[in-house]
Structure 1
């Protein structure tokens, strides 16, 4: 898979920033993801991200760390032990250049035989599930790398608002969709397009049901202004 994300991040860091990342999904038009936003400081982060960083404890694993802004804050300001992982090689190179001590180019599913106190999945980190049918195996894997008393902090959005309403106030959901939060996502940058990939937006009730079914307590920590939310999952001991 082309590393569109990593290329844009490295360009920005090396002073070659001339344009932003373009994103599009199977249900939305092309949108702009400003590359500088990926390098934001704590003060520029939305309240949901700030709250998640406040709740981090112990050894933190930042999953899908991107340019490393969350990990860097936790390492430098909170003085926590942080490991940062991403499937983007370019993103991890950027993290290392920014001074993140433990930054690894790897997939969360490949991580074995380690334990963490906080698993952090921000910027819709649950999206890496791809499909709702994968949520059980995803949560079970996360549980396997949590220390006793550990926690998962993740944010996502309920995107039902993006679908058209019928005359009775119901929503038009395509018949071929298993779940309305399953999208096909694509990125482009400097004339280069990524292959399409699945991405999951999961509403809180669906997440809570999946969490309980897999032995977690699920707590709604904060709701944002754009149908987004922060949740904390903790294994039932």
Structure 2
């Protein structure tokens, strides 16, 4: 059943991982989908594989976000679904943090996500759905994770305020907070096979459901938040981590 037929959706960071899976699911549900990413080759390949539109855009730069909004408005008109997914990993201990570490994470995860919402509000249809990709670490307190965790906690705060501000237009704003999820981003940690398996085994051991999540698990929630079944849900954070944060 195509529950999103006739709707237009934008997925930032849609060339891999959760963004790719979400774009695939939204398209399967009937939506017309646009994906973005920083690397032209990756964006165009993903767009071709998915059968969607790809636009190169860096969420870490406000000027690029504004240009993206202008392109989308000119070529596609107004949107019904905005999945603000693009994000980066990074951080250090508070004592050892460098300004460039802080700026790298915050420019994409918080500032970029904030201004993506800000600049796209004028081209959202009334009754549209906005979904932020947050993280279960937004409400956890692991050592050496202060920058990344803070970026996601800030997003959750903005999400709730945006839900209040946009409610008069019936625009719903929610967040999905995954825990340990098997995505391409874990392969960018530079670990060898043994170390990577050790990391997976450790995360699984800490998860009550004894497994890692998948990008497809998150994608289904993005689709749910974007459809008619969720028209009375706004300002909500849904944690999907197999019980990791219990």
Query: TM range, normalised to the smaller chain?
Result: 0.3 to 0.5
Structure-2-length-normalised TM-score: 0.46
TM-score (norm 1): 0.47
The structure carrying a bigger helix percent of its residues is: 2
Q: Which has a greater percent of strand?
A: 1
